[in-house]
Structure 1
Amino acid sequence: MFLWITSLSLLYISSLLGQIKGENDLSILDHLLKGYDRRALPESLKGKATPVACEIYIRSFGSINPATMDYEVDLYLRQTWLDERLKTPKLSKPLDLNDPKLVTMIWKPEVFFANAKHAEFQYVTVPNVLVRINPNGSILYMLRLKLRFSCMMDLYRFPMDSQVCAIELASFSKTTDELQLKWKETDPIVLYENLKLPQFQIEHWNTSLCKEKFQFGEYSCLKAEFYLQRSLGYHLVQSYLPTSLIVFISWVSFWLDIDAIPARVTLGVTTLLTISSKGSGIQANLPPVSYIKAIDVWMGACTTFVFAALLEFTFVNYLWRQKCKQRASHFRQTITNLKANITNSTNNPADQAKRDEGKTKMVFNGPPNEPIGITLTRLSAGANGGGGCSSSGGSSGGGNDHYVRYQLGDVPKASGIDRTCRFLFPMLFLVFNTVYWPYYIY
């Protein structure tokens, strides 16, 4: 029982002493601040520039927007300097202050982010600011900020590009004679352990010192550069794969019959409009730069292949119609010759046709005992009908002609062009890919 009471007494006394020490620390701080002038720099009385060591802890890094050429960062800015006016051995431990009113009572470096477009100070749930005063007079000033930085991007190799985005921290009102900014000697840039970017990978970063000269004087500044490599996976799925499939679909036209005009026109126009719409969607998320990007070359090549497939059908269809006109002319001439020969000869019309056969060949598939009058009537009807064409190279004399197959030559030139394009277009597309990918990746 006695030991239990003794232990409780010791705990109470220790807590009371701690409270007294804490109150004493605050009282000591109040005593130091009575004669403190926050307008004067710590080293101003010595005639030296005050060195301030800076460190940046990046909590999030993302929202890299190529259209506006900027990115957002959530970071902690930590600044350390020595102020001998606050040096006292009476402090029992480092004193942490997060009261904004107390923070404004001591001198702090007047710095700003030179390339920041927008900045927000974090107030949730309390103002995210901390001042730590050490007994030796060393001051740690830390605050949390959300900033949007500008990043001048070179999109020549987009979306296989790599970018260098910087954070610039500079003195706002104090020249190099009064304030010298420097990076912390060890780990000046610290990234959150699980930090991941949606479209980029941070390859490495480096820090450097810089100076900005204005008409008012020379100012100290710091620069941190982040080397970013864009990940290609998103654009492969959303841009390259769909456009490749559209090009492949346009080649289906080469396997359709020449006389399948509605199907081939619909296929060609639909793929051309689709590839144009896809290109417009990609360009909507990019700035209107004056140079050609890698994605522009790809979309231009895909559009060219689709448009060439449509032009190929137009050319093939033109050749096929010209062949039809020649076929109809030869057909009419053959009918005229048959009529003249039958009038002066008793030979079979098929035998007479064989004697006139050169480039033109006519084969009779009708009944062998069909009267000559009926044969001439049927052939004349076919001639008046124009000697219709079909994609297989045959033509029928008319809608009621089931016995005559008319051919001109062995293989139509139009069908040969289609067969050539079935292999020519894929080979050209393969050659383009062989040149495109190595050139822009390496």
Structure 2
Amino acid sequence: MCAYPDEGRVANHLGKVTSVRPPAVVEVDIMVRSMGPISEVDMTYSMDCYFRQSWVDRRLAFQGNKETLALSISMLARIWKPDTYFYNGKQSYLHTITTPNKFVRLYQDGRVLYSSRLTIKAGCPMNLEDFPMDIQRCPLKFGSFGYTVGDVVYRWNKARQVAIAEDMKLSQFDLIATPSANQTDQLKSGEYSMLLVSFHLQRHMGNFLIQVYGPCVLLVVLSWVSFWLNREATADRVSLGITTVLTMTFLGLEARTDLPKVSYPTALDFFVFLSFGFIFATIIQFAVVHYFTKYGSGECYFTYDVSSESSSEDEAWRDCRRQDRRRTAGSFVRHT
């Protein structure tokens, strides 16, 4: 049987092929059963859906007691059907277990309903500047591979465009919106009718609060313990500072394991870097305090028992200050 849009084409006296009938209108709707995985590294997403297409072919109109006829899928090879393909598709396939998951129904007015179950893997350009508090917009764009707008026009089904299964759940995202639109793209071979749907995905924060944000806050608080350690306990303060710095470095690298190597910092990177700065500042604070409290800078090291009953605290302090001034004066004379 001849292809539907080609049947209305005739050749004029110049040999130019023209179309004398309006383009075939293909109505489309999608029922999404599940989504995932969604990969930030590959910037792709997958979904399992029922992809339904409907068009009118007057040559297939019939009369009878039944309003619809369920046709065998072998009839698809004998009738015209749109050559729909996904522009941003990466790797998609039709389910074939236990039989090919598709059916064809024919209505009395010649309307054909063609439904198939597909798993679609499509590209999703992601902007990760607000990660992990981001909202990603993953598009799905499809249309005719060979027919221009003069032959085939795609439209969304007015009754249902993009439906989401009630029991669908995502592990890391919430599907908050599915806006759809019609558009026409100008290519070298002509204008093509296309349909576009965008899946707006909002990321969950719970996993990152447990694995990144919580441990980072606890490490910063742990580094502040060194403020209560005696400044003479050099080994304890240095070991605590180095341990927290190394642990913070490990957390920062681990947080970027599932992310692509993008050239810009994310919101998570800023938080990790700020936490690292707080921890590093505790080590710098100890180094500054240790440097300015050495001999000659006013620090007193008592060489006798200040708890002795023979000397009071005031006398011990004055004696310490006199020793320090003599030491400072002697150092000044040697340098001059």
Structure 1 partner of 2:329: none
User: Of the candidates 172, 185, 189, which is equivalent to residue 162 of structure 2?
Assistant: 189
Are 1:59 and 2:33 matched, yes or no? yes
CA drift of 1:228 comes to 2.1
As a proportion of its length, which structure holds more helix? 1
CA drift of 1:315 comes to 1.6
Are 1:71 and 2:35 matched, yes or no? no
Q: Residues 22 and 150 of structure 2 are in contact (CA less than 8 Å); yes or no, is this contact kept in structure 1?
A: yes
Structure 1 partner of 2:24: 50
Structure 2 partner of 1:41: 5
TM-score (norm 2): 0.84
Q: Residues 136 and 200 of structure 2 are in contact (CA less than 8 Å); yes or no, is this contact kept in structure 1?
A: yes
CA drift of 1:229 comes to 1.8
Are 1:296 and 2:269 matched, yes or no? yes
Deviations 1:236-281 (Å, cap 9, x if unpaired)?
1111111111111111111111111221111100100001000001
Deviations 1:153-209 (Å, cap 9, x if unpaired)?
111111111121111111100000000000001221110011112122122221111
Between the aligned partners of 2:27 and 2:299, the Cα distance in structure 1 is: 90
Structure 1 partner of 2:125: 152
Would the alpha carbon gap of residues 63 and 230 (structure 1) be closer, same or farther in structure 2, given more than 3 Å must change?
Answer: same
Between the aligned partners of 1:57 and 1:283, the Cα distance in structure 2 is: 34
Q: Residues 4 and 57 of structure 2 are in contact (CA less than 8 Å); yes or no, is this contact kept in structure 1?
A: no
Q: Residues 293 and 299 of structure 2 are in contact (CA less than 8 Å); yes or no, is this contact kept in structure 1?
A: no
Between the aligned partners of 2:284 and 2:171, the Cα distance in structure 1 is: 41
Structure 2 partner of 1:210: 183
Between the aligned partners of 2:265 and 2:123, the Cα distance in structure 1 is: 22
Would the alpha carbon gap of residues 145 and 406 (structure 1) be closer, same or farther in structure 2, given more than 3 Å must change?
Answer: farther
CA drift of 1:40 comes to 3.6
Between the aligned partners of 1:97 and 1:408, the Cα distance in structure 2 is: 105
Between the aligned partners of 2:233 and 2:129, the Cα distance in structure 1 is: 43
Are 1:95 and 2:69 matched, yes or no? yes
Q: Which amino acid counterpart does residue 131 of structure 2 have in structure 1?
A: F
User: Of the candidates 112, 118, 121, which is equivalent to residue 139 of structure 1?
Assistant: 112
Q: Residues 223 and 282 of structure 2 are in contact (CA less than 8 Å); yes or no, is this contact kept in structure 1?
A: yes
Q: Which amino acid counterpart does residue 234 of structure 2 have in structure 1?
A: I
Deviations 1:380-419 (Å, cap 9, x if unpaired)?
xxxxxxxxxxxxx9xxxxxxxxxx999745xxxxxxxxxx
Would the alpha carbon gap of residues 366 and 171 (structure 1) be closer, same or farther in structure 2, given more than 3 Å must change?
Answer: same
Matches within 5 A, 1:177-256: 177-256=150-229
Q: Secondary structure at the match of 2:209?
A: helix
Would the alpha carbon gap of residues 174 and 321 (structure 1) be closer, same or farther in structure 2, given more than 3 Å must change?
Answer: same
**Which shows bigger deviation, 87-96 or 129-138?**
87-96
Structure 2 partner of 1:397: none
As a proportion of its length, which structure holds more strand? 2
Between the aligned partners of 1:72 and 1:322, the Cα distance in structure 2 is: 68
CA drift of 1:147 comes to 1.2
CA drift of 1:105 comes to 1.6
Deviations 1:20-50 (Å, cap 9, x if unpaired)?
xxxxxxxxxxxxxxxx32x343873652210
Q: Secondary structure at the match of 1:246?
A: helix
Q: Which amino acid counterpart does residue 49 of structure 1 have in structure 2?
A: P
- How many aligned positions are there? 309
Between the aligned partners of 1:44 and 1:225, the Cα distance in structure 2 is: 35
Q: Which amino acid counterpart does residue 41 of structure 1 have in structure 2?
A: P
Q: Residues 117 and 150 of structure 1 are in contact (CA less than 8 Å); yes or no, is this contact kept in structure 2?
A: yes
